[in-house]
Amino acid sequence: MYKICVFDFDGTIVDTMPNLTKTAVEVLTKYYSVLDKEAEEGFINTSGIPFFQQIELLFPDDPRNKEASEEYEREKLKGFFEESVFPDTQEIFSYLKRKNYLITLSSSNFQEVVDKYLKIKGIKVDLALGAKENFYKGEDHFNFIKDKYNLRKEEMVFVGDSLKDGERAIDFGVDFIGKRGIFSVEAFNQRFPGVKVINELLELKEML
């Protein structure tokens, strides 16, 4: 039986992915010889990890990567804190608290960005983890959560909107629920046969 629900941030509880994708395309097409479509596909297919890690996957050891990553991090913040929380985020959080679940966030966005957004929007969770040096979504975050709350892996479930989210959950040994958005239900099922996939967060009421 689960005791804690770990949620991804961008694209899972907040509707930030369209503008993050737009910013990434602008940066990638500026610095590298790629077309808009190729840039968008590259960004989406590697989403779920910090941008500086994404471009290392897309353009390994390219000397332009540092400058491109820094520009992306600056540009993405323009309007970021005005982005909307998904309409059912607060409702599902309230439901889970009534059912005595712990609610945590695990984001590849930087810690200070996550903290500021949550404060502005008034979102309350038990724990919010963002990216820091040598501390990232996946094993780092999962181990921290497991140890902090003295949990077994089977007592944790991770909800995320990217294939990278699924990979990190499954590699660590916790259950994963995909959320349709940048990836289709079919894409999740092809990559992770039999995985549960939701269209909106309120569907978690039928699972938890």
Q: Which residue has the tokens 């989406």?
A: 44
- The pLDDT, as a whole number, for residue 163 is 96
22 neighbors 29 (Cβ within 8 angstroms) = no
d(CA 78, CA 125): 25
Phi, psi at 20, each rounded to 5°:
-65, -40
- The pLDDT, as a whole number, for residue 78 is 94
pLDDT tens digits, 114-173: 999 999 999 999 999 999 999 999 999 999 999 999 999 999 999 999 999 999 999 999
- The pLDDT, as a whole number, for residue 198 is 98
Angle between helices 65-76 and 51-58 (to 10 degrees): 140
- The pLDDT, as a whole number, for residue 36 is 96
- The pLDDT, as a whole number, for residue 35 is 96
Confidence band for 200, pLDDT divided at 50, 70 and 90: very high
- How far are the Cα atoms of 111, 144, 145 from residue 127, in angstroms, in the given order? 11, 11, 8
What pairs with residue 5 in β-bridges? Answer: 103, 157
- How far are the Cα atoms of 42, 54, 165 from residue 168, in angstroms, in the given order? 19, 15, 5
- The pLDDT, as a whole number, for residue 61 is 97
- The pLDDT, as a whole number, for residue 38 is 96
- The pLDDT, as a whole number, for residue 139 is 97
**In 3-state terms, what secondary structure has residue 128?**
strand
- The pLDDT, as a whole number, for residue 58 is 96
- The pLDDT, as a whole number, for residue 44 is 95
- The pLDDT, as a whole number, for residue 102 is 98
- The pLDDT, as a whole number, for residue 175 is 98
What pairs with residue 112 in β-bridges? Answer: none
- The pLDDT, as a whole number, for residue 108 is 95
Helices within 59-203 (DSSP H only): 65-76, 89-98, 111-121, 139-148, 163-172, 185-191
What pairs with residue 116 in β-bridges? Answer: none
pLDDT tens digits, 29-70: 999 999 999 999 999 999 999 999 999 999 999 999 999 999
pLDDT tens digits, 17-32: 999 999 999 999 999 9
Q: Which residue has the tokens 């400058």?
A: 67
Using only the alpha carbons of the chain, give its radius of gyration. 17
d(CA 7, CA 179): 10
**In 3-state terms, what secondary structure has residue 143?**
helix
